[in-house]
Amino acid sequence: EVQLVESGGGLVQPGGSLRLSCAASGFTFSIYWMSWVRQAPGKGLEWVANIKQDGSEKYYVDSVKGRFTISRDNAKNSLYLQMNSLRAEDTAVYYCARKGTAGRYSDYWGQGTQVTVSS
C-alpha cells in the first residue's frame, strides 16, 4: 500500500525557517517524480514544487522561488521541503504527493502537515 507521511510542520515567526519531511513507503520511491502542494485555510490547492527522480530537475511556483528548496534522499525514501524567509501567506497545509505514471498529476497524497507563520 502506498503511504506518504508528512512531518515537520508547526508555528514559526515571519522570516523564520522550517523543514518539512515526507516518508514514503509501499512503492519504489526512486523511480517517481514527487511534489509538494499546499492549501491555505479555507482556500484551494496550490502546487508548490516538483522534483525529478534523481533530483536533477526541480520546478517551483514563482511565489516560493529563492525561498523554498525541494530535495530528496532516495536511500531514505524521503522527500523534503526547506522553507526559508517564511511569510504569513505561506500559512497552509502542505501535502506531499507522488506524480502519476502518465503525466504530471498526483496519484497519491499524504495527509498533510500544518505550517503556520505568525508572530
Partner 1 sequence: DIQMTQSPSTLSASVGDRVTITCRASQSISSWLAWYQQKPEKAPKLLIYEASSLENGVPSRFSGSGSGTEFTLTISSLQPDDFATYYCQQYNSYPLTFGGGTKVEI
Q: Where do contacts with partner 1 occur on this chain (CB under 8 A)?
A: 37, 44-47, 50, 59-62, 95, 100, 102-112
Nearer to partner 1, 85 or 101 (CB): 101
> Smallest distance, Å, CB 13 to partner 1?
26
Nearer to partner 1, 14 or 89 (CB): 89
Query: Which cell numbers hold the place of 69?
Result: 528548496
| Residue 75 to residue 38: CA distance in whole angstroms | 26
Nearer to partner 1, 16 or 52 (CB): 52
Burial (CB < 10 A; 0-12, 13-18, 19+), residue 71, is middle
Query: Which cell numbers hold the place of 61?
Result: 511556483
The bridge status of strand 10-12 relative to strand 113-117 is: parallel
> Smallest distance, Å, CB 43 to partner 1?
9
Nearer to partner 1, 80 or 95 (CB): 95
What is the torsion angle, in degrees rounded to the nearest 10, for the CA atoms of residue 105, residue 96, residue 79 and residue 12?
Answer: 140
> Smallest distance, Å, CB 69 to partner 1?
16
> Smallest distance, Å, CB 101 to partner 1?
9
Contact between 68 and 82 (Cβ < 8 Å):
yes
